[in-house]
Amino acid sequence: MRIDVLTLFPAMFDGVFSSSILGKAREKGIVELNTVNFRDYSNNKHNTVDDYPYGGGGGMVLKPEPIFMAVEALTEPLSSRPRIVLMCPQGEPFTQRKAEELAKEEHLIFVCGHYEGYDERIREHLVTDELSIGDYVLTGGELPAMVVIDSVARLLPGVLGNETSAVTDSFSTGLLEYPHYTRPVQFREWEVPEILLSGHHANIEKWRKRQAILRTWQKRPDLLESYPLTKEEQQWLKEIQQEFERKSE
């Protein structure tokens, strides 16, 4: 996969793109990560990329020309048009499903804004997706872009050491992930659940699925509304609810 990021602050990505999982994926050639300063595509002598909004109001608005020209410079040699993602508080909420969808693409371009907002023609005539990482406002689109890129890149084959890790992550299955334990078996007065030491893989998988349902019910019950529980899993959920009711009495 190739990922290009249009930003006024390319240096913000240096550490992220060269460290940890993303850095290793880049070294292996699994993902190509590039930053483009769209100020370089400004068409005025002062290299400005923003201007006052028509109609008045506070703040400055990003001009369309530099961003259009930067994207066109990246895409004109290509036979197919990549997904162009605008990071914006008004965008579609970013989810694991969206990460899985974007991970199927060969080329992604992220546009990171600043100031009051974007010229509306960028939304209407250039981008293919608008994404938000939450209902709050940051000073720019760089941090949200890093979040999305990390989430997408880790799904690419060969990026993670264990190929099953991403498959069993929270939200990938529709449920939150079951709890994990490692050595030592006993830490202070807390022990690893005996079932995980049994070596009985079928029982372990059953325990993990039940724990995933329990954790989802406790922390994100809204996810269960759209999750297709089997009859057995429905019974587990009923037992979980009854057990909590007894404890609260």
Kindly list the catalytic residues. Answer: 89, 116, 154, 169
In the chain, the amino acid numbered 100 is: E
- Quick check: 135 and 7 in contact, CB under 8 A? no
Q: What are phi and psi of 216, to 5 degrees?
A: -65, -40
Identify the three-state secondary structure at position 45. Answer: coil
The CA distance from 169 to 167, in Å, is: 6
CA-nearest of 11, 33, 70 to 152 is 33
DSSP letters of 76-109? TT-SSPPEEEEEEEEEEEP-HHHHHHHTT-SEEE
For residue 246, what are the contacts with CB-CB under 8 A and spacing of at least 6?
none
